[in-house]
Amino acid sequence: MDKYESFANRINKIRRKKNSNIVLAVDPNFDVENIFDYVCHVIDQLHDYVCAIKLNFHVILPLSKIELKKITQIAHEDNLQIIADIKLNDIFDTNKVTIKYLSSSGFDSVIVNPFIGKISLKATVDYAHSLNFGVISLVYMSHADAVEGYGASLANPDGINKSENSKPVYRIFYENSKSAGVDGVVIGGNRLDILKELRDKGDEGLPIYSPGIITQGGDIKMALESGSTYLIIGRAIINSDSPLNKVKDIYDLVKGLEYWDH
């Protein structure tokens, strides 16, 4: 895979080559003693059926830079992209340093929280892209009480359509993310109304990454029908009795649907 290509193009090529839009969230339980060995084993066992690996903050934090570089190297050898899910949410200078460290450790992309604002988000995206590093923007989380933040409405901020007195937070985040040129957005796969609404805006060039599948009630077929591009699935696979059989079953299901390759 050409490291000088954009993240969006890299992951899309892998998706098509492997016939898989599954992003495996490797989020082990707290009682896993050796996280490095665990992550390496999961990648080795399941890499044929997924296009990317997502590591959450609680997985990255205990690992050394040497261990992280080894994990990302293994992922790349198995034709996977690797996403840092740290929901980056700080001033540009801090975001810049964080992205520099993640990129030097071999990560391909980071999930950013657009609460930082449109200008800071654009600066973060521009810097990331200068390193051929991706930015995925968090538009609507999948857990139940996400509605308290992402579903709230704000008085119309400057630069947004003045004909509306207020606008939902998630829609502001989506519009700011699109304007900033992000490589994709996160919208819960169990938020079918939000998926349909934003898909219906006609922005086919903005991939949607959807968590909340299976374990949080999201249905694979319905999520794909509603607009999801990539399915982020973790606990339903890695906590099953046979992660390999489970990921194969999901892979076969997705591959058999006409909606996955949009």
DSSP string covering the chain, please? --TTS-HHHHHHHHHHHHT--EEEE----TT-S-HHHHHHHHHHHHGGG-SEEEEEHHHHTTS-HHHHHHHHHHHHHTT-EEEEEEEE-S-HHHHHHHHHHHHHTT--EEEE-GGG-HHHHHHHHHHHHHTT-EEEEEEE-SSGGGGGTTT-EEE--TTS-TT-SEEEHHHHHHHHHHHHT-SEEEE-TT-HHHHHHHHTTT-TTS-EEE--BSTTSB-HHHHHHHT-SEEEE-HHHHTSS-HHHHHHHHHHHHHT-TTTT-
236 Cα distance to chain centroid: 17
Contacts with 192 (C-beta within 8 Å, 6 or more apart), sequence order: 222, 223, 226
**Mean pLDDT, residues 35-48:** 96
Higher pLDDT pick, 203 / 144 = 144
| Span of 103-107, 116-120, 165-169, 238-242 with lowest mean pLDDT | 165-169
Average pLDDT over residues 206-228: 88
Position 98 scores a pLDDT of 97
pLDDT at 63 over 60: yes
pLDDT per residue as tens digits for the range 71-102: 999 999 999 999 999 999 999 999 999 999 99
Q: At how many degrees (to 10) do helices 169-180 and 118-130 cross? A: 40
Check residue 165 and give its pLDDT.
Answer: 72
State the pLDDT confidence band at 27, using cuts at 50, 70 and 90: confident
Mean pLDDT over 227-239 rounds to 94
Give the type of residue at 52: A
Adjacent-strand bridge partners of 82: 53
What average pLDDT does this structure show over 156-168?
65
pLDDT at 112 over 90: yes
- The mean predicted confidence, pLDDT, of the chain is 89
Average pLDDT over residues 144-153: 67
User: Is 70 exceeded by the pLDDT of residue 259?
Assistant: no
Confidence at residue 31, expressed as pLDDT on a 0 to 100 scale: 82
Closest C-alpha to 50, from 8, 71, 16, 21: 21
Phi, psi (deg, nearest 5) at residue 33:
-80, -45
Q: How confident is the model at residue 146 (pLDDT cuts 50, 70, 90)?
A: low
Of the options 3.40.50.970, 3.40.190.10, 3.40.50.720, 3.20.20.70, the CATH number for the domain spanning 7-255: 3.20.20.70
- 20: its two tokens: 């898989």
State the Cα–Cα distance between residues 143 and 153, nearest whole angstrom.
18
Could you tell me which residue, 219 or 59, shows the higher pLDDT?
Answer: 59
Alpha-carbon distance of 153 to 166, in angstroms, equals 6
Record the pTM. 0.92
pLDDT of 22 higher than 60: yes
Contact 246, 50 (CB under 8 A): no
163-211 pLDDT per residue, tens: 567 788 889 999 999 999 999 999 998 888 989 988 866 556 689 999 9
pLDDT grade for 44, boundaries at 50, 70 and 90: very high
Cα Rg, the chain, nearest whole Å: 18
Give pLDDT tens digits for 29-38.
Answer: 878 889 999 9
Q: What is the pLDDT of residue 212?
A: 87
Which whole number is the average pLDDT over 103-130? 96
Of residues 238, 249, 248, the one with CA closest to residue 41: 238
